C-alpha cells in the first residue's frame, strides 16, 4: 500500500510539471503493482510454498517407489517431462498461491525424475546437465514467474557448474566466476537499462538478479573449499585481481554517494581496501563475497546483503580452517582481523559523519 501511494504521488508531481505531454495507463499500472506485490508477498508465503512442495514431492516419490515406476528408465524420463509440462501449464492458466505450491512441486520433481531417468540410460555424462539446462531455459521462456524463473535459472547454473567440475576444467571455473561477477555488477548497476530492453526482462529481472547472486556466491563457496579447485590454477591470481579491482570500483562509488570530500578520509579508505584485497589475493572467494556485500548494500538489496554476509562468513571460516597454521596462530590472526574491523567501524563513524550534508 505504501508503494502504491508513493507511485501516485510521483505521478501527480510529474503531471504538475508536464500536464499535457505525460500520459499513463493507470489500470495497467495498478495491475502491475498488484502482481509485483503478490510476487514479493513475503518470505512466509514462499517458505510455506517450498515446504508444501517438498512434502508433496516426498509423497509423490513414495508413490513412484511403491508402484514400481522407478524401475523403468523410460517411465522416469517421461514422467519427469510430463510433470514439468504440467507445472508450466498450471502456472500459465492459474495464478493462485495454492496452484503455485502444486506447480512448484511438479516443476522441481519433474527435473529430478528427468535427470534420474537420463542418468540410467548410460549416456555421456555431459549430455545430462546439457539437457537439463536446455529444459530449464525453455521453461524460463514459457513462464516468467518469480519462483519458476528462479528455479529455471538455478538449474541452468547447476548444469554449467556440473559440466565444469566433472570435466575438471578448473580454469573455466575461474572464468565462470568472473563472468558471474560481471553479470552481478550489471544486474545491480544497470537496472533501468535491463527493464527497458525487452518486455521479458521486466518480468524476470528480480529472479534474474537473485539467481545471479546465488550462482556467484555458490561458486565462491565451492571454490573456497579445499581441494575442490586447485589453488595453483593459472587463472587464480587474475581472477582475484579482477575481483579486487571491482571491489575498489564499488568503494569509489560508495564514497561518491556519501559525498566524502576530505582527501585524508579517501586515502585511508582506499589504503584499507588495498590492504584487505592484497591479504586475500590467494582467496578470491573472500574478495568475491566482499564484492557481493558491497554491491547489494549499494543498491539496498537487503535479502542479497544477508546472503552475501552469510557467504562471506562461510568462506572466511573455511579459509581459516584450511590455512596451514597452528591453533594459537589462527586465534591470533582472527583477533587481529577483528581489531581491524573494529578500528574501521570507529573510523567510519567518527570521520565520515563530518562529510555528511544535513
- The larger pLDDT score, comparing residue 141 to residue 232, is at 141
The pLDDT value given to residue 133? 92
Question: Domain containing 291: what range?
Answer: 197-358
- In this structure, the answer to whether residues 215 and 329 fall within a common structural domain is yes
Write out 219-241 in H/E/C secondary structure.
HHHHHHCCCCCCCCCCCHHHHHH
At 112, the pLDDT band (50, 70, 90 cuts) reads confident
- In this structure, the answer to whether residues 49 and 122 fall within a common structural domain is yes
Q: Could you report the per-residue pLDDT of 301-335, keeping only the tens digit for each?
A: 888 888 888 888 888 887 777 777 777 777 777 78
**Phi, psi at 90, each rounded to 5°:** -60, -40
User: Does position 213 have pLDDT exceeding 90, yes or no?
Assistant: yes
The answer to whether position 6 is within a domain reads yes
- In this structure, the answer to whether residues 160 and 309 fall within a common structural domain is no
- In this structure, the answer to whether residues 280 and 327 fall within a common structural domain is yes
User: Does position 138 have pLDDT exceeding 80, yes or no?
Assistant: yes
The answer to whether position 173 is within a domain reads no
The pLDDT value given to residue 230? 60
Amino acid at each position: 500500500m505504501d508503494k502504491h501511494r508513493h507511485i501516485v504521488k510521483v505521478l501527480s508531481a510529474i503531471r504538475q510539471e508536464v500536464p499535457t505531454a505525460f500520459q499513463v495507463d493507470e489500470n495497467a499500472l495498478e495491475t502491475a503493482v498488484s502482481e509485483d506485490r503478490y510476487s514479493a508477498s513475503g518470505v512466509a508465503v514462499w517458505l510455506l510454498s517450498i515446504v508444501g512442495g517438498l512434502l508433496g514431492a516426498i509423497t509423490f516419490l513414495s508413490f513412484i517407489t511403491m508402484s514400481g515406476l522407478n524401475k523403468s528408465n523410460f517411465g522416469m524420463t517421461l514422467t519427469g517431462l510430463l510433470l514439468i509440462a504440467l507445472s508450466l501449464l498450471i502456472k500459465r492458466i492459474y495464478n493462485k498461491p495454492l496452484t503455485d505450491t502444486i506447480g512448484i512441486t511438479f516443476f522441481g520433481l519433474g527435473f529430478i525424475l528427468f535427470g534420474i531417468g537420463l542418468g540410467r540410460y548410460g549416456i555421456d555424462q555431459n549430455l545430462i546437465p546439457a539437457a537439463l539446462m536446455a529444459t530449464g531455459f525453455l521453461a524460463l521462456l514459457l513462464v516468467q514467474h518469480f519462483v519458476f524463473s528462479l528455479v529455471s535459472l538455478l538449474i541452468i547454473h547447476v548444469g554449467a557448474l556440473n559440466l565444469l567440475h566433472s570435466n575438471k576444467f578448473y580454469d573455466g571455473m575461474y572464468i565462470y566466476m568472473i563472468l558471474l561477477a560481471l553479470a552481478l555488477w550489471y544486474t545491480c548497476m544497470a537496472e533501468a537499462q535491463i527493464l527497458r530492453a525487452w518486455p521479458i526482462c521486466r518480468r524476470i529481472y528480480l529472479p534474474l538478479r537473485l539467481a545471479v547472486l546465488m550462482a556467484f556466491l555458490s561458486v565462491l563457496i565451492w571454490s573456497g573449499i579445499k581441494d575442490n579447485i586447485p589453488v595453483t590454477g593459472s587463472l587464480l591470481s587474475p581472477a582475484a585481481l579482477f575481483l579486487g579491482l571491482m571491489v575498489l570500483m564499488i568503494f569509489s562509488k560508495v564514497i561518491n554517494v556519501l559525498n566524502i570530500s576530505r582527501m585524508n578520509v579517501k586515502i585511508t579508505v582506499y589504503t584499507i581496501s588495498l590492504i584487505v584485497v592484497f591479504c586475500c589475493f590467494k582467496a578470491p572467494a573472500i574478495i568475491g563475497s566482499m564484492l557481493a556485500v558491497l554491491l547489494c548494500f549499494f543498491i539496498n538489496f537487503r535479502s542479497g546483503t544477508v546472503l552475501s554476509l552469510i557467504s562471506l562468513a562461510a568462506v572466511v571460516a573455511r579459509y581459516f580452517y584450511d590455512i596451514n597454521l597452528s591453533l594459537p596462530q589462527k586465534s591470533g590472526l582472527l583477533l587481529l582481523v577483528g581489531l581491524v574491523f573494529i578500528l574501521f567501524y570507529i573510523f567510519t563513524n567518527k570521520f565520515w559523519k563530518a562529510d555528511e550534508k544535513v
